[in-house]
Amino acid sequence: MKQGTLNETRFMLKNTSTKPIDQIQLQASCGCLTLDTFKSMLAPGESTTAVVEFNSIKKRGWSNVFLILKYVANGKPTD
């Protein structure tokens, strides 16, 4: 990717369990990642798409960025 460009990626999140997921959170490791709104509660078998945009305008060379997925299922937080 060239410096100064935007790159968009889509992730599908699917609840493959038999219990509902009560809350989903995605946390970005830096301000260069922007997250679009997605469903934060999923019934069993339901899915949603998270759209993430990486902005390389102020980046030079290699960048190591990541997302942290956290969710609450069955009343218990999980990383």
pLDDT per position as a tens digit, 40-53 = 899 999 999 999 99
The answer to whether residue 73 is domain-embedded is no
The answer to whether residue 53 is domain-embedded is yes
The answer to whether residue 1 is domain-embedded is no
Residue 77 has pLDDT above 90, yes or no: no
The number of folded domains in the chain is 1
The answer to whether residue 32 is domain-embedded is yes
Contact 62, 47 (CB under 8 A): no
- Give the closest residue to 5 by CA, choosing from 58, 47, 71, 52: 58
Residue with tokens 């490791």: 29
Q: What is the Rg, in whole angstroms, of the alpha carbon atoms belonging to the chain?
A: 15
pTM summary value:
0.72
Residue 50, phi-psi category: left (phi > 0), alpha (psi -120 to 50), beta (remainder): beta
Domain containing 10 equals: 6-65
